Amino acid sequence: MVKMECKSTKVKSTVRLYCNEDSAMKMVREFEEQAEEMGRRSLVKEAFRFAEELGLELDLEHLWSVKTEVRKCQDEKLDEEVRNQ
C-alpha cells in the first residue's frame, strides 16, 4: 500500500514538473532529462516505469513547447495569408 502511494506520488510530481512554466522548474526538468540521458537515476525514468505498473500511459511534453509550436503555426499561417493577398 505504501509502495503504491510512493509510486503514485512520483508520477504526479513528474506530471506537475512538466505542467509548470516557472523558470526554476525548467532547470529541474533539464537536470532530470540530462540525468536520464547520462544513464543516472531520474525521476522521469522512474515515473514512466511506475505509470506502466499502475496501468497508465505518460505523454510528457512541457506546455511551453506546445505553446511555442502553436505560435509558430499561427505565424506561418499569417505569413502565408499576407503573401496570398
Instruction: Give the pLDDT confidence of 22-45 residue by residue, as tens digits.
Output: 888 888 888 888 888 888 888 888
Q: Which three cell numbers stand for residue 65?
A: 513547447
How far apart are alpha carbons 20 and 63 in whole angstroms?
A: 8
Assess whether pLDDT exceeds 50 at residue 58.
Answer: yes
* pTM summary value: 0.59
How far apart are alpha carbons 14 and 83 in whole angstroms?
A: 43
